[in-house]
């Protein structure tokens, strides 16, 4: 079963939720209300006056003079859209955003229509309770039916259709009401005598193929409520392509020992992140920027993937030595790319004979997980941090702490 | 009518269960006491994440404030005050 969650008058509803004095009143979301523009969104209270998205503001003011005009805030709506997707993920890992205010939620194979309706009701209640917003949900055996069902009753509607009931509801409707049929396609269909969704369902396949090519037979299938389009969950963060750390030095420096210590600490930080997030990388890059903002990036591939600071540092140091002209540096960075998932570092390092290093890294990680990233640092980077009198990485030490003498 | 602003304001806030809860703020010489946070969202600006709050006061005025960690500072970005028209 698939759900399609469609937020009701999303932009306007968000403004009404955030500004309670607007609730129950006609609200029109637009650009700058003091300038010419168009309606971006209208609340349900404004729609009976004939106000629609895309309408010029002047016309909207004539139709609905008592409306409250609110300048839209796209970042706010997108941020809320992401929070809604997180809410859907509580019910299923298969969430596919369709637009800023719509998303498909795929339920487990074998879920009955009754259970899907229960879940849809829970989602509606959760949206109301968490965000003070309304949503209409369509329930169906495929994306097409779920999408079209969501528009049957609004606002705060919940419509569940199987293929048979889909046909009962939509076959009498104009052919343009079928998802995927726009005005121009509908005009061409009407010229062929196809007025309704039911007409399309019974149109000869060869005629549709001749008129519309490969999509002809697909449209007929859709008119029967059949759709095998897969749900593509994409509300997941993409796998990272690289991980890196860089630091702009508090003072430009050409101190070899200091720069080497900084590279060591950066390598340590990058590999800790790799281990924490379960990746290993094979290409090490170093970034050097001088006081004139001239930036050099050089990289080299290792023979195998690694999560080890020592291996990354050795390559980073070679690259730095080979490409640094000796002048003061302003910024230095280390990046590891060509990542692959590596949940068990032991597997990676086993054949490199570095089991001891692996155990050491994991022990260090456990200490840092408990006491913070700056609780243990490579010795080569420690002296320079003290000289600078600040902490370029990790938490700033509390000068009033009783443990000050323990240093890093 | 909403007023779009960019006024720095002084805010008294609490940190409760990892969240910022604005309590009151001073704007145009008067103290606005927050009765309810009606919405929260964030916006990225460069490497910083600004935290936005929609707030309601006891006289049905509503506001949008944001906290900018780079200052750090609080800014009143929008206000609708009851009786201001619109």
Residue A364 and residue A261: Cα distance in Å, rounded? 18
The shortest CB-CB distance from B56 to any of A14, A20, A69 is to A20
Distance of CA A25 to the CA centre of its chain: 33
B38–A69: do the CB atoms touch at under 8 Å?
no
Higher pLDDT, B15 or B83: B15
Task: Find, among B83, B76, B67, the residue nearest to B26 by Cα.
Answer: B76
ipTM entry: 0.88
Domain boundaries, chain B: 3-80
Longest dimension (CA), chain A: 88
Q: Which residue has the tokens 């780079």?
A: B70
Counted across chains A and B, CB pairs separated by less than 8 A come out at 42
Considering only CB atoms, which chain B residues are within 8 Å of A28?
Answer: none
A312 within 8 A of A272, measured Cβ to Cβ: no
pLDDT of residue A393: 44
Task: Find, among A5, A74, A10, A17, the residue nearest to A44 by Cα.
Answer: A10
Assess B59–A contact: CB distance below 8 Å, yes or no.
no
pLDDT of residue A241: 82
DSSP assignment string, A267-325: HHHHHHHHHHHTEEEEEEEEEEEETT--EEEEEEEEEEEE--HHHHHHHHHHHHHHH--
Specify the DSSP class assigned to residue B85. Answer: -
pLDDT of residue A248: 83
Q: What does the pLDDT average to over B59-77?
A: 92
Mark the ranges of chain A whose per-residue pLDDT is less than 50.
345-351, 384-408
Task: Please tell me whether residue A231 adopts helix, strand or coil conformation.
Answer: coil
Assess B64–A contact: CB distance below 8 Å, yes or no.
yes
> The CATH number of A1-160 is which of 3.40.47.10, 3.30.70.270, 3.40.640.10, 1.10.760.10?
3.30.70.270
pLDDT of residue A294: 86
pLDDT of residue A390: 38
> What CATH code is assigned to A168-223?
1.10.150.20
Assess B47–A contact: CB distance below 8 Å, yes or no.
no
pLDDT of residue A354: 61
Look up A102 and say whether it is catalytic. yes
Report helix, strand and coil shares of chain A as percent, to nearest 5: 45, 20, 35
Which superfamily does A242-398 belong to?
Answer: DNA polymerase, Y-family, little finger domain (3.30.1490.100)
Assess B28–A contact: CB distance below 8 Å, yes or no.
no
Q: What is the pTM of this model?
A: 0.65
Residue A197 and residue A243: Cα distance in Å, rounded? 52
The shortest CB-CB distance from B38 to any of A17, A76, A83 is to A17
Residue A113 and residue A90: Cα distance in Å, rounded? 19
pLDDT category of residue B44 using cuts at 50, 70 and 90: confident
Query: C-alpha dihedral over B23, B29, B30, B33, to 10 degrees?
Result: -10
Task: Please tell me whether residue A2 adopts helix, strand or coil conformation.
Answer: strand
What are A99's strand-pairing partners? A102
CATH 3.30.70.270 domain position(s) in chain A: 1-160
pLDDT of residue A98: 93
pLDDT of residue A277: 82
pLDDT of residue A353: 52
Report helix, strand and coil shares of chain B as percent, to nearest 5: 0, 75, 25
Question: CA A46, A48, A52: angle at the middle one, nearest 5?
Answer: 60
Q: Of A10, A13, A17, A19, which to mutate for an interface test with B (greatest number of B Cβ within 10 Å)?
A: A19
pLDDT of residue A140: 97
The per-residue pLDDT for range A360-376, each reduced to its tens digit, is: 777 777 777 666 666 67
Could you tell me the two tokens for A318? 């070679």
Considering only CB atoms, which chain B residues are within 8 Å of A68?
Answer: 1, 86
């Amino acid at each position: 079963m698939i759900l399609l969650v469609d937020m009701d008058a999303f932009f306007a509803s968000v403004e009404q939720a955030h500004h309670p004095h607007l609730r129950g009143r006609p609200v029109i979301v637009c650009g700058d209300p003091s300038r010419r523009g168009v309606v971006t969104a209208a609340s349900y209270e404004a729609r009976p006056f004939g106000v629609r998205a895309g309408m010029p503001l002047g016309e909207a003011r004539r139709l609905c003079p008592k409306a409250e005009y609110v300048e839209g805030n796209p970042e706010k709506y997108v941020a809320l859209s992401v929070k809604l997707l997180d809410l859907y993920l509580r019910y299923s890992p298969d969430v596919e955003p369709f637009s800023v205010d719509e998303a498909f939620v795929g339920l487990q194979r074998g879920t009955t229509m009754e259970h899907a309706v229960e879940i849809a009701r829970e989602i509606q209640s959760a949206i109301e309770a968490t965000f003070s917003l309304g949503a209409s949900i369509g329930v169906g055996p495929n994306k097409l039916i779920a999408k079209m069902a969501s528009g049957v009753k609004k606002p705060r509607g919940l419509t569940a259709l199987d293929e048979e009931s889909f046909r009962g509801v939509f076959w009498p409707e104009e052919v343009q009401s079928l998802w995927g049929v726009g005005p121009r396609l509908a005009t061409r269909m009407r010229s062929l005598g196809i007025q309704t969704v039911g007409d399309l369902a019974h149109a000869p396949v060869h005629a549709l193929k001749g008129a519309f090519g490969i999509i002809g037979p697909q449209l007929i299938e859709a008119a029967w409520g059949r759709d095998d389009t897969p749900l593509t969950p994409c509300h997941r963060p993409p796998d990272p392509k690289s991980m890196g750390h860089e630091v702009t030095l508090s003072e430009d420096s050409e101190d070899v020992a200091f720069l080497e210590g900084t590279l060591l600490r950066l390598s340590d930080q990058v590999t800790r992140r790799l281990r924490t997030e379960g990746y290993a990388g094979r290409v090490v890059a170093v970034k050097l920027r001088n006081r004139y903002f001239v930036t050099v990036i050089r990289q080299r591939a290792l023979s195998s993937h690694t999560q080890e600071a020592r291996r990354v540092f050795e390559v980073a140091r070679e690259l730095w030595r080979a490409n640094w002209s000796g002048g003061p540096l302003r910024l230095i960075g280390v990046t590891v790319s060509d990542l692959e998932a590596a949940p068990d570092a032991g597997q990676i390092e086993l054949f490199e004979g570095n089991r001891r290093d692996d155990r050491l890294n994991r022990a260090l990680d456990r200490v840092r997980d408990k006491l913070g990233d700056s609780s243990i640092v490579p010795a080569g980077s420690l002296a320079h941090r003290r000289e600078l009198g600040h902490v370029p990485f990790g938490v700033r030490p509390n000068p009033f702490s009783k443990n000050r003498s323990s240093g890093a | 009518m909403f007023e779009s602003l960019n006024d720095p304001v002084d805010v008294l806030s609490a940190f409760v269960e990892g969240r910022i809860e604005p309590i009151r703020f001073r704007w145009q010489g008067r103290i606005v006491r927050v009765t309810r946070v009606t919405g929260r969202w964030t916006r990225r600006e460069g490497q910083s994440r600004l935290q936005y709050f929609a707030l309601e006061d006891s006289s049905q005025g509503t506001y949008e404030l944001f906290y900018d960690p780079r200052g750090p500072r609080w800014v009143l970005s929008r206000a609708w005050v009851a009786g201001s028209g619109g």
